[in-house]
Amino acid sequence: MEKRVAIIGAGMSGLLACKYILQKGFDPIVFEATESVGGLWNHTIESTKLQNAKETYQFSDFPWPSSVEEVFPSHTQVLEYLESYAQHFGIIPYIKFNSRVMSIDYVGEPFGEMKSWDLWGGTGKPFGSRGKWHISVQDSKCCSTEVHQVEFVVLCIGRFSGVPNIPEFPPNQGPEVFSGKVIHSMDYSSMDNASAAELIRRKRIAIVGSQKSALDIAAECAKTNGVEYPCTMIQRTPHWFLPSGTFWGVSIGFLYFNRFSELLVHKPGETFLLKFLATILSPLRWGISKFAESYLRWKLPLKKYGVIPKSSFLQDFSSCQLGMLPENFYDQVEKGSIILKKSQSFSFCKEGLLLNREHRPLKTDLVILATGYKGDQKLKSMFKSQVYQKYISGSPNSMIPLYRQIVHPRIPQLAVIGYAEGLSNLFGSEVRSQWLAHFLDGNVALPSIKEMEKEVNVWENSMKQYAGRYLRRSCIGSINIWYNDQLCKDMGCQHKRKKGIFAEYFQPYGPTDYAGLTSKRVIKTN
Ligand SMILES: Cc1cc2nc3c(=O)[nH]c(=O)nc-3n(C[C@H](O)[C@H](O)[C@H](O)COP(=O)(O)OP(=O)(O)OC[C@H]3O[C@@H](n4cnc5c(N)ncnc54)[C@H](O)[C@@H]3O)c2cc1C
Ligand SMILES: NC(=O)c1ccc[n+]([C@@H]2O[C@H](COP(=O)([O-])OP(=O)(O)OC[C@H]3O[C@@H](n4cnc5c(N)ncnc54)[C@H](OP(=O)(O)O)[C@@H]3O)[C@@H](O)[C@H]2O)c1
């Protein structure tokens, strides 16, 4: 059987998947809808920076260049870093740019037979069955469509791009009745800097959302318009945001990114001893969360503006709801350039927005919906088969049901990289790409379909405890090391990767700890 592999998307995840698959001697083809690599980093707002300190958003074997001195590099520096990775590892020749995948369809195995399989793809192997994926690819320049056939597909289409989450409204309460303009943060991000500045200049702006996009856009509006035209940020659920990565001098890495910190939380499939430890250490878990919260309440005027989150710091950390505060954000709030309002619901009227508990409308010229993305629907829409659409979606309030956050137990010859979130997403996509490369090379054995489904449920039930209603984000924030341990064990690699017991338990884990999980092979260069 041929072993053709297609990767869809050349953002950070697609580049990683390609690099590791190449190292195993495959000859992949990467379909990228746009004309460049780097995905969403090509279209961010002017002020966007990396939220992580750069050493935690770094390829394990390709450090940031010494010319980047900033701790939090700008979006341009991130894009250049991704581009130079693609050049360095000879990935560019494998990418077909301007090639949008319209759909993928699994052909060649009767569905009735597939339903009776005990093992993934019938054999438990990546290339075990007779089926092939038919990939319809549209050339975005001439609009012609070609169908490619491959034995394996890797979906790296991005979780936070492409399909915006637009709230729905009853008739006559939506944007259609509003006399101003409504855009999503995605549209604002895709504008060039001059047009974006022009759009917001001297406008009364309302921004809906309380997450990172909303905060960043509010900060940009404040910078452009000052107190003369203050923008209003409408928050449904305030979350914990950090002005820096330390709490009274203690780095967040020591509180949440080491093996000791993971002893304090319950983990999927934990042994009796680990469960016991997490239970008796729960006061310490609570104490660390309160320590972080006390620092933020002391440092920021959250009480004054009524935006103390209801969730604990640990809950926000575990559900990837934590972010970095834009510089001087609360100075702008204090000055009056940003007005914070809490509202559980909103609707439109001619003059602006109607917020709950307020009788008068909020008069507005421009509404920016920083309401996030529908990454799950984007994933679903790739599949032609309704059965696979249903499989990949799972139930609406569950996690996307992926074993090891990579393969669906009932969708053969296909992997997803870049859906599950972590506090540093490059790191997550890299370890998964290494696992995938081992798997394609025949070095990872999958359990039966039933066992994989059981494992997915165990993870879901465990992650529910901390992630609550954000479960769908598949955030592995507080159990990142435990999760990587499972992948390392599958790959037959040492999962404890530090030198010495003290370092193992107390030093923060990061990308370079997972360098070299796959062996090297000679690959094509430009
Ligand atoms: C503004 C912003 C800032 C962020 N900052 C951080 C951060 O600081 N730290 C962090 O850890 N995470 C951050 N994230 C999360 C972010 O999603 C990841 O860090 C990461 O860059 C995502 O890479 P990706 O390759 O998975 O997805 P994307 O960058 O979205 O790339 C997906 C690629 O797939 C292509 N594609 C999609 N559909 C198709 C198709 N049908 N056919 C062909 N090609 C297709 C797209 O064109 C794109 O190039 C941020 C997210 C956003 C929105
Ligand atoms: N590096 C950077 O500087 C940077 C910049 C931007 C984004 N990002 C990253 O990109 C990802 C996406 O961030 P995002 O802010 O665009 O999206 P997001 O994290 O999904 O947040 C969406 C926000 O919209 C709110 N919302 C959704 N539907 C709503 C409705 N019907 N009514 C009112 N509020 C509604 C949500 O509130 P609820 O919580 O109540 O649902 C939430 O506050 C995140 O990982 C983020 O960290 C990073």
Percent of the chain surpassing pLDDT 90: 89
What's residue 477's pLDDT? 86
* Structure tokens, 162: 């492409």
Distance 96 CA to ligand 1 centre (A): 18
CA 310 – CA 466 distance, rounded (Å): 13
CATH code assigned to 175-243+304-369: 3.50.50.60
Q: Whose CA is nearest to atom 23 of ligand 1?
A: 12
In tens, the pLDDT along 141-179 reads: 888 999 999 999 999 999 999 999 999 999 999 999 999
CA 345 – CA 175 distance, rounded (Å): 14
- SS3 of residue 416 by DSSP: strand
Statement: residue 521 has pLDDT above 50: no
Kindly state if the Cβ of 211 falls inside 6 Å of ligand 2: yes
Q: Whose CA is nearest to atom 21 of ligand 1?
A: 12
Within 8 A by CB and 6+ apart from 142, the residues are: none
Atom of ligand 2 nearest to the CA of 323: 47
Atom of ligand 2 nearest to the CA of 167: 31
CA 205 – CA 161 distance, rounded (Å): 23
Q: How confident is the model at residue 518 (pLDDT cuts 50, 70, 90)?
A: confident
Kindly state if the Cβ of 158 falls inside 6 Å of ligand 2: no
Within 8 A by CB and 6+ apart from 331, the residues are: none
What's residue 526's pLDDT? 38
Nearest to 161 by CA among 196, 126, 185, 192: 185
In tens, the pLDDT along 306-352 reads: 999 999 999 999 999 999 999 999 999 999 999 999 999 999 999 99
Q: How many CB atoms lie within 10 A of CB 138?
A: 18
CA 410 – CA 401 distance, rounded (Å): 10
What's residue 523's pLDDT? 41
Strand order across the 145-150 sheet: 99-107, 132-139, 145-150
Identify which ligand lies nearest to the alpha carbon of 190. 1
Distance 160 CA to ligand 2 centre (A): 9
Residues with CB under 6 A from ligand 1: 8-14, 31-34, 39-40, 44, 48, 50-52, 57, 100-101, 156-162, 418, 424-425
340: phi > 0 → left, psi -120 to 50 → alpha, else beta; which?
A: beta
What's residue 140's pLDDT? 87
Q: Whose CA is nearest to atom 17 of ligand 2?
A: 372
What's residue 524's pLDDT? 41
Q: Are 155 and 379 in contact (CB under 8 A)?
A: yes
Q: Are 429 and 476 in contact (CB under 8 A)?
A: no
Atom of ligand 2 nearest to the CA of 321: 19
Q: What is the residue whose two structure tokens read 């165990």?
A: 458
Statement: residue 111 has pLDDT above 90: no
Statement: residue 417 has pLDDT above 90: yes
Distance 378 CA to ligand 1 centre (A): 12
What's residue 446's pLDDT? 96
In tens, the pLDDT along 419-467 reads: 999 988 999 999 999 999 999 999 999 999 999 999 999 999 999 888 8
Statement: residue 219 has pLDDT above 90: yes
Q: How confident is the model at residue 525 (pLDDT cuts 50, 70, 90)?
A: very low
Statement: residue 190 has pLDDT above 50: yes
Give CA separation, 433 vs 68, 379, 405, 472, in Å.
26, 18, 11, 22
Burial 167-176 (b: 16+ CB within 10 A, else e): eeeeeebebe
In tens, the pLDDT along 62-87 reads: 999 999 999 999 999 999 999 999 99
- SS3 of residue 355 by DSSP: strand
Enter the DSSP assignment of 301.
Answer: -
Burial of 61 (0-12, 13-18, 19+ CB in 10 A): middle
In tens, the pLDDT along 374-385 reads: 999 999 999 999
From the candidate CATH numbers 3.50.50.60, 3.30.70.2190, 3.40.50.1100, 3.30.420.40, the one assigned to the domain spanning 5-161+375-514: 3.50.50.60
Q: Are 314 and 466 in contact (CB under 8 A)?
A: yes
More confident residue, 248 or 188: 188
Where would I find the H helices in 258-281? 259-263, 272-280
Q: Which of 40, 49, 160 to mutate to test the pocket of ligand 2 (most atoms within 8 A of CB)?
A: 160
Kindly state if the Cβ of 434 falls inside 6 Å of ligand 2: no
Domain 5-161+375-514 identical in fold to domain 175-243+304-369 = yes
Taking all residues of the chain, what is their mean pLDDT, rounded to a whole number? Answer: 94
Identify which ligand lies nearest to the alpha carbon of 472. 2
Within 8 A by CB and 6+ apart from 372, the residues are: 160, 164, 165, 209, 211, 213
What's residue 522's pLDDT? 37
Structural domain spans, the chain:
5-161+375-514, 175-243+304-369
Distance 278 CA to ligand 1 centre (A): 34
- SS3 of residue 369 by DSSP: strand
Atom of ligand 1 nearest to the CA of 40: 29
Q: What are phi and psi of 94, to 5 degrees?
A: -90, -5
Q: How many CB atoms lie within 10 A of CB 510?
A: 18
